[in-house]
Amino acid sequence: MADFNYDLFTIGAGSGGVRASRMSALKGARVGVAEEHRPGGTCVIRGCVPKKFMVYASSYPKHIKHARQYGWDLPEASQFDWPRFRDSMNAEVDRLSGIYARNLNNTGVDLIEERAEITGPHEILLKESGRRVTAKHILIATGGTPNKDWDLQGVEHTITSNELFHLKKLPEHLVIAGGGYIACEFAQIFAGLGVKVCLVYRRDTVLRGFDEDVRTFVHEALKGSGVRVITHTVFEKIDEHPEKEGFKRVTLANGDELEADQIVFAIGRDPYTKGLGLEKAGVEVEANGAIKVDAYSKTSVDHIYAVGDVTNRVNLTPVAIREGAAFAETVFGQTPTAYDHDDIPSAVFTQPPVGTVGLTEHDARRIHGAVDIYKSKFRPMKGMLTDDPDWMFMKMVVRTEDQRVLGVHIVGDDAPEIIQGVGIAVKAGLTKDQFDATCAVHPTVAEELVTLREKWTPPEAASAAE
């Protein structure tokens, strides 16, 4: 290894890259990390962390309203100070980014705050300084970047989720293109902050890829929170509003016209590999730029690896961290380790939020054939003293032949917290009988998971049996 500047050079200081780099350094490797923006990656800087703070901020009007119905004499939430909240939120992001940098330095990793590009199988160019370094192993952990419809007339009038955390002022009317979790989360965040919000989605129901019952529940919750949802159409063009200064006019393919002072594209994210120089090292990529890797995160080049969203496997921060740790064990721990991507719990921070783990009903039927379905929709105790108690939904997908629980899907307050514990059970392969044998914690909403007794029968099957 003495012929190289580094044993490992990591491109990208997000969660996966930082975990891999620190663990490799602790195992004795000489490690360098290049980051063109600042340490922390999508999650800390422009994703999960600041977005969750925004969810908290947007939920206070409802909490205040409910507190009054619980006997507290509080004024209505009538004014929101966006600059004060925004600056406080971004100060916390800065603090967390600093922790990432300190953790790298404390383990002896060289943090280089420049863009890095691969110029050969073992060579990396640092763009700002023009310095070239060599490494025996290269790890690519550059994450993803928001996608836009660059062919759209007027696309220059749009922003992405990256810019939403830094708006100078709250918009009056926000139009969002997209129906995935990012679009849905931000739609309800800004609606909760008092913004008029319209979401435009080309399909019939939001959250493609999630369980159908979850999709329907969230779709209705969006409308219930004041978001206007327009489906089965897309943007056709955007231009300056002819009468309202600072506003744009959005023309949809269905002929509708919308006016907005902020327009957001939330139509997905692409692996951030453009201009990285992968072809110079012989690294193979998919059509969308995702780096092809094997179970051990190794690319088509033996000494080059990739982890996290840049591989487009499961695009979640905790997954990137696990992949980074597995890489360090494989390459510098002499213990080949492949991370298991099955039964990964995840959450969507809509309002109410979603918690899910395992297979959807559709995928379970496709893979396993006969399944038993258990569902429950109810109003939690917390809301019963209010004039608008929320609904909660729970669903369990069970393989008929051996009663193994294949999937659990929850929509409602605390669903992300609950699904973390349930994820352990699903990952462990527990059965419905084992869920049923677990004593309920009362009174909680989570107790519903161990008291589901009645199988759900599809309407067509019920009709056939009559």
Looking from the CA of 194 toward its CB, the CA atoms found within 13 Å total 12
Percent of the chain surpassing pLDDT 90: 93
Looking from the CA of 433 toward its CB, the CA atoms found within 13 Å total 4
Beta strand pairing status for 196-201 and 110-112? unpaired
- What's the average model confidence in pLDDT over 115-141? 96
pLDDT digits (tens, 9 = 90+) for 409-428: 999 999 999 999 999 999 99
Active-site entry in 122, 137, 219, 442? 442
pLDDT digits (tens, 9 = 90+) for 348-390: 999 999 999 999 999 999 999 999 999 999 999 999 999 888 9
347 pLDDT tier (thresholds 50, 70, 90): very high
- Model confidence, pTM: 0.95
- Range(s) for CATH 3.30.390.30 in the chain? 346-457+460-464
Contacts of 150 (CB under 8 A, 6+ apart): none
Catalogue the E-assigned strands of 169-294: 173-177, 196-201, 228-231, 235-240, 248-252, 257-260, 262-265, 269-271
- What's the average model confidence in pLDDT over 139-143? 98
Q: What is the pLDDT of residue 1?
A: 43
- Range(s) for CATH 3.50.50.60 in the chain? 6-146+270-332, 155-267
Burial track 342-374 (b if 16+ CB lie within 10 A, e otherwise): ebbbbbbbbbbbbbbbbbbbebbeeebeebbbb
Percent of the chain surpassing pLDDT 70: 98
Q: How far is CA 288 from CA 22, 114, 143, 296, 311, in A?
A: 29, 25, 13, 21, 10
Question: What is the DSSP code (8-state) at residue 453?
Answer: -
- What's the average model confidence in pLDDT over 293-306? 98
Do residues 205 and 217 lie in contact, with contact meaning Cβ atoms separated by under 8 Å?
no
DSSP string, 323-380: HHHHHHHHHHSS-------SS--EEE--SS-EEEEE--HHHHHHHHS-EEEEEEEE--
Question: Of 3.30.390.30, 3.40.50.2000, 3.40.120.10, 3.40.1160.10, which CATH number belongs to 346-457+460-464?
Answer: 3.30.390.30
Question: Of 2.40.33.20, 3.40.462.20, 3.30.1330.60, 3.50.50.60, which CATH number belongs to 155-267?
Answer: 3.50.50.60
Contacts of 439 (CB under 8 A, 6+ apart): 450
Q: What is the pLDDT of residue 213?
A: 98
Active site residue 368: no
Looking from the CA of 444 toward its CB, the CA atoms found within 13 Å total 14
pLDDT digits (tens, 9 = 90+) for 224-260: 999 999 999 999 999 999 999 999 999 999 999 999 9
Token readout for 36 is: 């063109």
DSSP string, 70-85: TT----------HHHH
CATH class of 6-146+270-332: alpha beta
Token readout for 32 is: 């360098």
Determine if the peptide bond prior to 61 is cis (ω within 30°). no
